[in-house]
Structure 1
Amino acid sequence: MIRQNQRILSQLYMLADLLCTLIVFLAAYWLKFYSDWLSYVNSVPFSTYLVWGTVYSFSAVVVGFYLQFYSPKRRKNYSYEVLKIIQIQTISFLFLLSLFYFTGEVHISRELLLIFFLMNIAAIALYRYIVKSMLFSFRRRGYNKRYVLIVGAGSVGRSFYHNLQKRPELGYEAVGFLDDYQGEHAEEHQFMQPIIGKLDDLEAKLNELTIDEVIIALPLEAHKKYAQIIETCEKTGVKTLIIPDFFDLLPARPFFDNFAGIPLINVRDVPLDELSNRVLKRGFDIIFSLIAILITSPIMLATVIGIKLTSPGPVLFKQERMGLNRKNFFMYKFRSMRVSTGEVSNTQWTVENDPRRTKFGSFLRRTSLDELPQFFNVLFGHMSVVGPRPERPYFVSQFKEEIPKYMIKHQIRPGITGWAQTNGLRGDTSIEDRIVHDLFYIENWTFILDLKIIVMTIVRGFVNKNAY
């Protein structure tokens, strides 16, 4: 299959977005003024609505162009596209409202605009998902391929090759390796693409083979060869990418900064360091917690009565935990155990058939109902709805010495539920595995990921067999 030009694909995407937006506008107009659901007397002619719908459509494409929505996204996740769609449509919608204000257009139906806005996000996200799924399917079958040449057959190059083999939907195929030490790596490459030459053969191979990208995977001691390799690739018009020899020390998506005119690699770039992301997450936390408290208030009232009837002592149990920026706070729970000293509760794990539990408390812990008061922690700013689970300071002091990168989880607010918990790592499970999932969440946070975790928590249920 002939490889399509990326510029043509970008133009097709622009045209498809434009047509999709106009079709959704017509659907929203029909739904508002002609359907039996929302029929309404229209005082503004259709032509006026059509003009404004067209303005909105073109503005969304322009905004998408400047936000690089139409740049190649072969290596991007679908959640990235959804987030971009929401950003683009929101900016375009605010621009349209601004135009209404300046032009004095006050008779346009605001209900129609809201329907149009929501339907448009859903429609574009849906058709983009269908297109992306189709492209993944084609690439798995060997179509729409991009061919890469790996310079360096050592551990870095082999790691990249093996990871590439696990992601056939990306549509990348390694044509081979270049390495000056073929004899040393020959045995390791018996199940891989061959070493087809030495580094000095690069220009000849670029002219001889169909190669779209060159991946430099050389060790640090070969740094002096980088300039010549890059110059050769640029001479033939092939894109060059570099895998640093210390890539295993970097996060999944390292951030490049600039200091005093020198490029720097930010070893741990956290998306929630950005003010806009923090505001979005905090605003959602407040709204979601208020709704959750309102909905679960009858359950919490019944829980309070149940605790009072089954065991003496306070209804709430508060325990010191470590949170954002390593600051301690008191996390609230419904009491599920008999009253004990603070030293015992702060330094001992709960075990299966723990004698401290009450019968009603066992039910609360297994159904996670004891966690409901933590929505108040969210309102107070101690916690988030989604995030790494907080731990007691006594155990934090142990884990930070035993488990690599454990303290990184404290760079964001802890959560009621998290990526680790939705993947089954709750209760008596591996702390190391939890940290791996927590780090993934921290480095790859998006608002869509938060929504996904909340939905997974609800769908998979709150009953936990490991909750003692």
Structure 2
Amino acid sequence: MATPGKSGPSKVFFLWFFELALLVGCVRLSGSVRFMHDPAGYLEFSNGLPWRAALFALVLCVSMTAFGLHHVYLRKNRFGFILRELYAFLFGGVALLVIYYLFPDAYIGRGVLIASLLLGFIGVLTLRMVWSTVYASPTLKHRVLVLGAGETASFLERRMRRANDRRNFRVIGYVPIADEEIKIDSSLLVRGEGGVDQVASLLDADEILVALEDAHHGIHMESLLAAIERGVRVCDLPTFVEREAGMITLSRLDPSWLVFSHGFDHSLPRRLNKRAFDVIFASLMLVLAMPLMLLTALAIRLESKGPILYQQMRVGFHGANFSVIKFRSMRVDAEKDGVAQWAKRDDDRVTRVGRFIRKTRLDELPQLVNVLRGEMSLVGPRPERPQFVDSLNEQVRYYSMRHSVLPGLTGWAQLRYPYGASVRDAEEKLRFDLFYVKNHTFFSDLSILVQTVEVVLMGKGAR
């Protein structure tokens, strides 16, 4: 997802390129070994090899993206990565078999396919280990000097303290200012003669992160201008968190930052390409999912009496209400008192079939009709019920801004945060929803849609 000045996506682009080239090489190497003693066979195999190898590599790279392996902000350990890679190669292998069945000319042969998948798995794993070791080196991270050591600066230590949160940068110190209550450990403080520009020069900082209360901003402006003249980048806390963490910080956010920052593209071209994206992909998904939807409907009818589908009022674009369509996953009398309730873990109102279709997200498939109607988009903030929205608008600052785009079948918050079932959860998810509202593009929508495959297959966030 595009944000200004961030280094993470550029790394992902290069990683994608290297893995694509590596997988192409795996096909060529597998073919050379397979036909080592069969020159005539290799000659036939090599006919059209460049595009067939490129197709193999492209399908696997897309599959790895779908399982979050090219996710800029993903937190993952080594075991988690290996598991994701295994799922990605299995899924990619099945996708390739389907493609080969439909387009026989693309087939590279059973032996070469198996060998290429095995070599590719080992090669990608090795490349990632080298890649993570290289980029984990402090010398390749940009050096950040924080101006401020009070409550605002402490946000960095509270919310971005993990190594995965700091994969692109290294904090080299906090510069305290006068009349500020220190909230940072003394071992992290740095002091020096002159302004922050001189401290930055002394410590060879690449960037100064301004983490001050609004009242102190003007006092240090001359020093910050001097730092810019020396080639040191200057960034405020909301922009920095947006760039490095893929979310909007709410507690330290001034409305003027939202007003004057770039983003919030609601232009006619963007609206048209988003609508075209929704109609094309929703129609395709509806056709492909129809057998699953028919089986789901049958299972619901066999388990309990009552409607197969149900409609529920939700808040959509610009706060307008609409009826969302879902497969019924609860008892008919789940809300017999008419009072809306947050979903909870191990909810006893959920039926046995309902528990399965929630886990696999099959209950959401009828919402493709909402997408085709123009009431929802494939990608956007998830729509909430009016009763919850009224309460959240009063309790959570900027909550109404999520309604400036169409609600979605899936969204950035669904990839980054587990199921929300409280006011606090809603506030946490809003950080990611606002990031999407501010930065959504055609390619970010495509990326989120592809990565949702992992959420569905691994059953993340369902209740």
The bucket for the TM-score relative to the shorter chain is 0.5 to 0.7
Q: Is the 8 A contact 2:206 2:232 kept in 1?
A: yes
Distance 1:331 1:133, change over 3 A: same
Aligned to 1:460, what secondary structure does the other structure show?
coil
Distance 1:201 1:333 in 2: 56
Distance 1:412 1:111, change over 3 A: farther
Deviations 1:66-124 (A, max 9, x none): xxxxxxxxx95469xxxxxxxxxxxxxxxxxxxxxxxxxxxx95556xx99x9999999
Asked if residue 327 in structure 1 is aligned to residue 320 in structure 2, the reply is: yes
Distance 1:192 1:280, change over 3 A: farther
Q: Please name the residue that 1:366 is paired with.
A: 355
Q: Please name the residue that 1:378 is paired with.
A: 368
Distance 1:339 1:13, change over 3 A: closer
Asked if residue 436 in structure 1 is aligned to residue 428 in structure 2, the reply is: yes
Distance 2:376 2:32 in 1: 44
Match 1:214 to one of 208, 212, 216: 208
Match 1:303 to one of 286, 300, 307: 300
Stretches of structure 2 that go unaligned for 5 or more consecutive residues are 1-10, 59-70, 76-103, 250-258
Q: Is the 8 A contact 1:386 1:450 kept in 2?
A: yes
TM-score where L is the length of structure 2: 0.58
Match 1:149 to one of 131, 145, 151: 145
Asked if residue 291 in structure 1 is aligned to residue 282 in structure 2, the reply is: no
Distance 2:395 2:196 in 1: 47
Q: Please name the residue that 2:67 is paired with.
A: none
TM-score where L is the length of structure 1: 0.57
Asked if residue 401 in structure 1 is aligned to residue 398 in structure 2, the reply is: no
Q: Which amino acid aligns with 1:226?
A: M
Aligned to 1:349, what secondary structure does the other structure show?
coil
Which structure would you say has the larger RCO, counting Cα contacts within 8 Å and 6 or more residues apart? 2
Report the CA distance between 1:193 and its aligned residue: 1.7
Distance 2:141 2:181 in 1: 27
Report the CA distance between 1:23 and its aligned residue: 1.8
Aligned to 1:196, what secondary structure does the other structure show?
coil
Report the CA distance between 1:330 and its aligned residue: 2.3
Match 2:340 to one of 349, 362, 377: 349
Distance 1:297 1:351 in 2: 28
Aligned to 1:329, what secondary structure does the other structure show?
strand
Residue pairs, 1:271-290, within 5 angstroms: 279-280=276-277, 283-290=280-287
Distance 2:422 2:349 in 1: 27
Larger Rg: 1
Aligned to 1:197, what secondary structure does the other structure show?
coil
Residue pairs, 1:416-435, within 5 angstroms: 419=413, 424-425=418-419, 429-435=421-427
Distance 1:174 1:315, change over 3 A: closer
Deviations 1:260-317 (A, max 9, x none): xxx931475799967656654654443334323323422322322444xxx4x65433
Distance 2:124 2:18 in 1: 12
Stretches of structure 1 that go unaligned for 5 or more consecutive residues are 1-8, 61-74, 80-107, 255-262
Q: Which amino acid aligns with 1:436?
A: E
Aligned to 2:145, what secondary structure does the other structure show?
strand
Distance 1:449 1:346, change over 3 A: farther
Q: Is the 8 A contact 1:164 1:172 kept in 2?
A: no
Report the CA distance between 1:463 and its aligned residue: 7.5
Distance 2:294 2:27 in 1: 40
Deviations 1:128-184 (A, max 9, x none): 644442235x43xx5645433333444434434655643375264433344552xx4
Distance 2:295 2:172 in 1: 63
Residue pairs, 1:72-83, within 5 angstroms: 77=73
Aligned pair count reads 373
Report the CA distance between 1:367 and its aligned residue: 3.5
Q: Is the 8 A contact 2:248 2:434 kept in 1?
A: no
Match 2:407 to one of 410, 413, 429: 413
Distance 1:345 1:21, change over 3 A: same
Once the two structures are aligned, what percentage of the paired residues are identical?
Answer: 16
Distance 1:153 1:316, change over 3 A: closer
Residue pairs, 1:25-424, within 5 angstroms: 26-27=28-29, 77=73, 129-135=128-134, 138-139=136-137, 144-160=140-156, 165-167=161-163, 169-170=166-167, 172-181=169-178, 184-185=179-180, 188-200=183-195, 202-203=197-198, 205-206=199-200, 208-221=202-215, 222-223=217-218, 225-235=220-230, 238-243=231-236, 252=247, 264-266=260-262, 279-280=276-277, 283-307=280-304, 311=305, 314-334=307-327, 336-338=330-332, 347-349=338-340, 362-368=351-357, 372=362, 374-381=364-371, 382-383=375-376, 388-410=381-403, 411-415=405-409, 419=413, 424=418
Deviations 1:349-408 (A, max 9, x none): 35999xxx9x99733443446985642331342445665443333443343233333333
Distance 2:214 2:170 in 1: 25
Distance 2:204 2:342 in 1: 61
Q: Which amino acid aligns with 1:349?
A: A
Aligned to 1:397, what secondary structure does the other structure show?
helix
Q: Is the 8 A contact 2:247 2:434 kept in 1?
A: no
Q: Is the 8 A contact 2:150 2:212 kept in 1?
A: yes
Distance 1:462 1:244 in 2: 29
